[in-house]
Structure 1
Amino acid sequence: MAGWAVCLGIHHRSPGNPFHYAFPVHSLEAAKEFYGTVLGCKEGRSSDKWQDYSLYGHQIVCHWAGSDYRCIDYYNPVDGDEVPVPHAGVALETVEQFNSLVARLRAHNIKFVIEPHLRFKGEPGEQYTMFFKDPSGNNLEFKAMTNHEKLFAKYNVPSE
C-alpha cells in the first residue's frame, strides 16, 4: 500500500511531505509499548539504539538517550492552560479521530497533562486539544480543528 500508513489500526494516506521528528527516550522497550501498542503506530526500521514509527504517515524516531533521560518541562499559557513545552503531535483531520484517540488513551489508562477539551471557542482557531506524556516524559499534543480548513487561519490571539 504505497503512500498509506497505519496508525491506531486505521489506514491513513501519507501526507505529501511527511515530517521527520527524532526525540530521546530512556527505554526502547517502553517506547515500543507506548508508540506501537498504545498509539497503534506501525514500527519501521530499528536498531539497538533507535526505532522509527509511522505516526499518521509522519516518521517519528525514538533514540535511546540513556536510562536517566526524562524530558524537562517548561510551560507557556495558552487559552487558560499551562501548556508544556517542548511538545509534538498531530493536527488530526476530524473531531471523530480525536474522540477515537481519547477513547484509546483512556482504555490504556494514559494520564492527561491537559484533559481533552475545546479551546479557542468561537474563534477561527477553535479546536479540541489534549496533552499527555510518553514513558520518557516527552509531551504530546493531539488536536482537531472544529473546521480543519482553518488550521492556519491568521488572527491575533489576546495575550494571557
Structure 2
Amino acid sequence: MRDPRDACHVAIPARDLDEAVEFYVFGLGAKLARRYDDRVTFDFFGDQLVCHLSENVPAEAVAYPRHFGVSFARAEDFDRLVRVVEHRKLTVLSGPSLRFEGTAEQHRTLFLVDPSNNVLEFKNYDDPRLQY
C-alpha cells in the first residue's frame, strides 16, 4: 500500500533542461527539487517528475497512447490550473473540454504540451470517486 508520503515517479525525455525548468516551474508552478547536467527533478503536484536530457524526444505532440498528468479531486483546483494555463499562455493541445458527457464518467479535461512534445492531461471528474 502506498503511504501518503510516497511519490509516484515519472521520467520523460527533454531536449533542453532550461526549457523544462521554464515550463514546469515558471509555467505550471512545479517545485524544482534537484538539477544535474543530465536531468532535472520536480515536485510535480506531490509526485516526482524527472526530465532526462535526451535527443530522443517525441517528433510531435500526440496524446495517445502516452501522456501523464493529474486527476484533480476538487473542481476548483482544475479551474485554478485552467486560469494559470490561460494567463501564462502555455501550449494547449486540446481543451478544456467535457468528455463522456451525460455518463457516470463525465469529466473535464485539458491536454498541454511541454517544450519537448511530452503531453500532459489534467482532469476533474464530476464524481471524485472516479479519479482513480
TM-score normalised by L of structure 1: 0.74
Matched with 1:78 is none
* Bigger helix share: 2
Amino acid at match of 1:107: H
- What is the CA distance between 1:126 and its match in structure 2? 1.1
Q: Which has the higher contact order (CA 8 A, sep 6+)?
A: 2
Name the % identity: 32
Q: Which of these residues, 89, 108, 114, is aligned with residue 134 of structure 1? A: 114
User: Which runs of at least 4 in structure 1 moved beyond 6 Å after TM superposition?
Assistant: none
What is the aligned residue count?
A: 130
In structure 2, list runs of 5 or more residues that go unmatched: none
Matched with 2:18 is 29
Give the number of the structure whose alpha-carbon radius of gyration is greater.
1
CA RMSD of aligned residues (A): 1.9
Matched with 1:151 is 131
The alpha-carbon distance between structure 1 residues 15 and 102, as it changes in their structure 2 partners (threshold 3 A), is farther
**SS of structure 2 residue aligned to 1:40:** coil
- Partners of 1:139 and 1:53 in 2: CA distance: 16
- What is the CA distance between 1:119 and its match in structure 2? 0.9
- Partners of 1:118 and 1:74 in 2: CA distance: 21
1:111, 1:132 within 8 Å by CA — same for their partners in 2?
yes
- Partners of 1:61 and 1:47 in 2: CA distance: 11
1:15, 1:57 within 8 Å by CA — same for their partners in 2?
no
The alpha-carbon distance between structure 1 residues 118 and 16, as it changes in their structure 2 partners (threshold 3 A), is farther
Q: Which of these residues, 52, 55, 69, is aligned with residue 89 of structure 1? A: 69
Matched with 1:114 is 94
1:15, 1:58 within 8 Å by CA — same for their partners in 2?
no
In the TM superposition, 1:12-91 aligns within 5 A as: 15-66=4-55, 69-73=56-60, 83-91=63-71
* Bigger strand share: 1
Matched with 2:82 is 102
- Partners of 2:23 and 2:29 in 1: CA distance: 8
The alpha-carbon distance between structure 1 residues 52 and 133, as it changes in their structure 2 partners (threshold 3 A), is same
- What is the CA distance between 1:122 and its match in structure 2? 2.1
- Partners of 1:134 and 1:52 in 2: CA distance: 15
